[in-house]
Amino acid sequence: MPLDQSESRSLQVRQKVGHPIIDGDGHTQEYHPEVVEYFREVAGPELTETYLNKRLKRAWHSASPEERMHKRIGRPPFWTMPAKNTLDLATALMPDLFRARFDEIGIDYAVVYTSQFHLTGEKDDEIRRAGCRAVNLMNWDRFGRHADRMTPAAVIPTHTPEEAINELEFCVAELGYKSIMIDGVVTRQVPVIADEAPEVAAYSQWVDSLALDSAYDYDPFWQKCLELKVAPTSHASGQRWGARCSVSSYTFNHVGAFAAAGETFCKALFLGGVTRRFPDLRFCMLEGGVNWAVSLYNDLFEHWEKRNIKALSEWLDPRQIDRPLLAELVEKYGGTEYAPYVEKFKEKSDTPGARPGMMPDLDCIDDWALAGIETEQDIHDLFVPRFFFGCEADDRTVAHAFNGKCNHGGAKLQALFSSDVSHWDVPDMTETLAESYELVENGLITHDDFREFTFTNMVKLHAGLNREFFKGTAVEAEAAKVIAEEL
């Protein structure tokens, strides 16, 4: 049975703060046999059998220790659900129980994401699309009766813009979803290797960030999100990318993985000009925290300062080198080592410090052109209001998002309370909000910051486009005040 609510520290925090708590990243754990039945209805028995056989042959588990080392197969996640805390395990599986425990957990409303079966990274087109459709149908059935307290996020596959638009229209326009989950990155085979050595193409992949140098034009998908009034929310991981591919250690592969994927997607949206072309869209990157975003935001300012097109032309263009002066200094101070090269330093074709063939194409040097950055204020305006960042309850670096003294322009980034309940990093669901409130108790953020973190920023993310997002929910009245005052 659920714990006595009087024993919950999180309930006490909720009562103390006096404003609603919205969980930006609650989770459910799908019961696989149930999902398979939905998959069978969507795809038929033949594809279902193909999927089940493929599931039994997962690379790491079906390989010997020697094969794992030889093929460098990264260790996948394991033991990711509650176990000893069986009440939390049951809560993760059953929306009715989850809803019954909301007060005890200390939250008023939650956006709930799938965990085990979104299949957005599945390479088989038919299985990927059928899997996403199946879990979307299942979660709509499971969570629909709890719309006043929670809403599920539809799983949108993004291997192509066409498949993304297709599932988006079905989920939002037909079923009635109002939040979505995408992978903001897609791993693809390197084309030249797929063409010339297809037998090894699976071992050579690149990361498509959907917004910069992509294999496809995703603008039609962003436009469709705008039309349907949904905020693209990325729940991607960089596990088993590059060096984050230990054969034996899941922890090695997991640490920083969501941050890596979030940074890749966010950076591409910004530099690829998506936030410029779609100024009304809001994007969220989940589970990676906000520390990477603080670094990215400030790095963009510092790169712009030194590498905007005017600064490049004034300070770094090799044509600015005073050749006679350089030759004179080399002759005077270069000693015997440089003596043979004095005349070469006078040649315009020679660039000290550059390797042969490394002179840049002068028509391809403005990294800020797609984003349309002309001033530092542009960086702020195209980044800060557009992006939101999901942070787990025990993440102390949340404080960095609210520390305007350390961020260019005094900016505070839009961090979100994201409990991540139902996963291994939450041993007790009733402690998540209380753990987050320790940021206030320890003087790391203010009460106003905490309100932004646990309530206001979630309203801005989802009601920025859809003013009706919170209509009929337990937080409708309070959300309406934020919408009227800040949106």
Name the pLDDT band for 58 (thresholds 50, 70, 90). confident
pLDDT over 80 at 348, yes or no: no
The stretch 265-289 carries a mean pLDDT of 97
Q: Biggest alpha carbon distance in the chain?
A: 86
User: Which among 447, 479, 445 has a CA at the least distance from the CA of 461?
Assistant: 479
Residue 416: predicted pLDDT: 97
Q: What is the pLDDT of residue 386?
A: 97
pLDDT in tens, 349-386: 666 655 555 555 666 789 999 999 999 999 999 999 99
Confirm if 342 and 331 have CB atoms less than 8 A apart.
yes
Quick one: pLDDT at residue 355?
54
Domains of the chain, start order: 17-297+381-486 (3.20.20.140), 309-346 (no CATH)
Burial of 362 (0-12, 13-18, 19+ CB in 10 A): exposed
Q: Is the pLDDT of residue 123 over 70?
A: yes
Question: pLDDT confidence of 417, banded at 50, 70, 90?
Answer: very high
Give 396: exposed, middle or buried? Use CB within 10 Å, 0-12, 13-18, 19+: middle
Average the pLDDT over 181-200 and give the result. Answer: 93
Q: What's the mean pLDDT in 429-447?
A: 96
Half-sphere exposure at residue 451, Cβ-oriented, CA atoms within 13 angstroms = 10
Query: What integer best gives the mean pLDDT of the chain?
Result: 92
| Lowest-confidence pick of 155-164, 288-297, 326-335, 406-415 | 326-335
Q: Does the pLDDT value for residue 127 go beyond 90?
A: yes
Q: Which residues pair with 283 in a beta bridge?
A: 387
Angle between helices 161-168 and 125-143 (to 10 degrees): 20
Structure-model confidence comparison of residues 4 and 274, the more confident one:
274
As a whole-number percent, the residues of the chain with pLDDT over 70 amount to 95
Q: Give mean pLDDT, residues 40-63.
A: 90
Start-to-end CA span in the chain (Å): 41
Q: Is the dihedral of CA 80, 128, 111, 278 positive or negative?
A: positive
Tokens of 249: 């250690």
CB 68 within 8 A of CB 411: no
Q: Which of 21-30, 346-355, 467-476 has the lowest mean pLDDT?
A: 346-355
Residue 86 has pLDDT above 60, yes or no: yes
pLDDT band at 201 (very low <50, low <70, confident <90, very high): confident
Name the pLDDT band for 212 (thresholds 50, 70, 90).
very high
